[in-house]
């Protein structure tokens, strides 16, 4: 009888723990998917409106990002402000995106290299010949 109660309690605790982890991961995916376009827009088309939204988004990212993502993101943001200190802001952003992806992927087999993340901002030119 006591063994059954202990098993039920352990099962409930494990269910709560894994449910909490799943919920946090889902929130993190949402935060990443909502803030990444803002970061990209701020990099390629900065203006006062996007600056305000960017700053609000970064605060939310600091709450959800793991330490690797936070460090990569901090370096990328620093390169926005001090491009003379960094060789390539786009490469830093590529590294940040890949780190975000690693953070939310369940399987490590879904790994990308930073150089494989290229077209996160594209301008289309009508180049199709008729």
CA–CA separation, 86 and 75 (whole Å): 9
End-to-end CA distance of the chain: 79
pLDDT for 118 beyond 60? yes
Instruction: Indicate the pLDDT class of residue 129, thresholds 50, 70 and 90.
Output: low
Instruction: Indicate the pLDDT class of residue 130, thresholds 50, 70 and 90.
Output: low
Mean pLDDT within 30-47: 88
Domain ranges of the chain: 2-116
Instruction: Indicate the pLDDT class of residue 114, thresholds 50, 70 and 90.
Output: confident
């Amino acid at each position: 009888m006591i063994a059954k109660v202990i098993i039920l309690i352990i099962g409930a605790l494990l269910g709560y723990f894994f449910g909490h982890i799943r919920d946090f991961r889902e929130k993190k995916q949402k935060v990443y998917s909502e803030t990444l376009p803002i970061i990209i827009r701020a990099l390629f088309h900065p203006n006062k409106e996007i600056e305000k939204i960017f700053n609000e988004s970064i605060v939310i990212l600091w709450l959800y990002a793991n330490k690797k993502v936070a460090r990569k993101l901090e370096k990328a943001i620093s390169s926005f402000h001090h491009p003379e200190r960094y060789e390539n802001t786009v490469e830093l952003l590529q590294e940040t995106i890949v780190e975000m992806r690693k953070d939310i992927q369940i399987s490590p087999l879904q790994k990308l290299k930073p150089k494989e993340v290229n077209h996160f901002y594209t301008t289309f030119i009508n180049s199709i010949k008729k």
